[in-house]
Each structure stands twice: as structure tokens, then as C-alpha cells.
Amino acid sequence: MRRTVERHYTEYVSARLPVLRRTAFLLCGDDHRADDLVQTAITA
């Protein structure tokens, strides 16, 4: 069960990554900080 949930989460994040990065960039105005923000959000 856990592997299925992890796989679905990974698929979701992979599909939504461009939108997540764009939104993070709008929040902080910097590409590198946006990447850090997304990484923190998806691993927390």
C-alpha cells in the first residue's frame, strides 16, 4: 500500500512541478529560491 501511495505522490508532483515552480517564483521572485521552496514543500 505504501509504495502505491508513494508512486502516486511522485507522479502527481512530477506532473505539477512546472506549476509549483512557477507559483513559488511568483512568491519569492528568484529561480533558485523558488526551487528550494518547492523542494521544501514536497519533502515536508
* pLDDT for 44 beyond 90: no
The residue to which cell 511522485 is assigned: 10
Q: What is the C-alpha separation between 21 and 35, in angstroms, rounded?
A: 6
* pLDDT for 6 beyond 90: yes
Q: pTM for the full model?
A: 0.80
C-alpha dist (Å) from residue 21 to 2, 3, 4, 15, 30: 26, 25, 25, 12, 10
Q: What is the pLDDT of residue 1?
A: 79
Q: At what angle do helices 31-43 and 2-28 cross, to 10 degrees?
A: 150
Q: What are phi and psi of 43, to 5 degrees?
A: -105, -5
